[in-house]
């Protein structure tokens, strides 16, 4: 179960207006109901469990990487406001 390659997960990056890089992962059907999942401290956006249920439930799981983790550029203020800033920038 945990050694299976993540074939239905895609990594995305973009440059934010404040010049930091923001990274997020998307899994499930592209037209599925969007659900944003904010992971806990020290977790990356690439999840390895439950992904097989996303198609069945028609969920598009969007998992942003917090500042300083994975490919997202470090920001000294690791607060939820900065994570929201990154997420909202992807919608523009």
| Lowest model confidence (mean pLDDT) among 10-14, 24-28, 53-57, 74-78 | 74-78
Token couple for 35: 């659900």
Q: Residue 51 maps to which CATH number?
A: 3.40.50.1820
In this structure, is residue 47 part of a structural domain?
yes
In this structure, is residue 60 part of a structural domain?
yes
Does 1 score more than 50 pLDDT? no
More confident residue, 4 or 33: 33
In this structure, is residue 36 part of a structural domain?
yes
Token couple for 24: 């997020």
For 48-76, how does the pLDDT look when each residue is reduced to its tens digit (9 = 90+)?
Answer: 667 788 889 999 988 888 888 788 888 77
Does 2 score more than 60 pLDDT? no
In this structure, is residue 1 part of a structural domain?
no
Token couple for 54: 């996303």
**What is the C-alpha to C-alpha distance for residues 7 and 81, in angstroms, rounded to an integer?**
31
One-letter-per-residue 3-state SS of 28-88: CCCCCEEEECCCCCCCCCCCCCCCHHHHHHCEEEEEECCCCCCCCCCCCCCCHHHHHHHHH
Quote the mean pLDDT of the chain: 77
Q: How many CA atoms lie within 13 A of 58 on its CB side?
A: 3
In this structure, is residue 20 part of a structural domain?
yes
Query: Where residue 79 falls among pLDDT bands split at 50, 70, 90?
Result: low
Residue 90: enclosing H or E segment and its boundaries?
A: helix 80-90
């Amino acid at each position: 179960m945990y050694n299976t390659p993540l074939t239905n997960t895609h990594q995305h990056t973009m440059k934010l207006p404040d010049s930091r890089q923001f990274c997020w992962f998307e899994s499930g059907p592209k037209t599925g109901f969007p659900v944003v999942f904010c992971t806990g401290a020290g977790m990356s956006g690439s999840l390895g469990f439950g992904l097989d249920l996303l198609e069945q439930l028609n969920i598009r799981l969007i998992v942003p990487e917090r500042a300083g983790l994975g490919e997202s550029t470090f920001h000294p203020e690791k607060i939820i406001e900065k994570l929201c800033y990154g997420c909202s920038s992807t919608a523009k």
